Amino acid sequence: MSEEYMLCNFKNCYTPLTKTAWITRCSHVFCDKHGIKYFCNHEARIKCPACNEIRNRESDIFKIDLNPSDMLISCVRPDKVLDYASRAAKLWCYQMQIKRKLNMGSVCSKYEKMASEAVLKYKHENNGQ
C-alpha cells in the first residue's frame, strides 16, 4: 500500500506532512516551517496564508501530532472518537481534492509544454522544406 500524505498548503511548498501539521479552522494545513513563520507571532488575529481568511490565533489554528499514540486515542470516549474521525475524514477528503487539483494542473502544464514544443518542431521542420 502506498503512503498518502497531506501536503503543505503554503503556495509552492507542497511539503508532505508526515509528523506534525498546523491546521486552521478553514481546513488548510501547513508544514512546521510555515506554521512557525506565520502562526507563532504575537498577533491575536492572523490571515490564513492559503485563503486569507482572518483567524484567531488561539482558537482557530492548531499544531497537531499526525501520529498520536494508540493509548491517547483509547482514553477518549467512543462518541468523541467518532466525532474526531468524522472531522478527520472531512479534512482528509478536502486535502486530497486540493492535491488532485495540484496534480492535474501539473499534468496539464506538462502536456501543454509538450504540445507547444511539438508545434514549434513541426513549424521548424516545415519551414526548412
pLDDT in tens, 84-121: 888 888 888 888 888 888 777 776 777 788 888 888 88
Strand 20-24 to 61-65 pairing: antiparallel
What pLDDT, on a 0 to 100 scale, did the predictor assign at position 123?
A: 81
pTM attached to this predicted model: 0.68
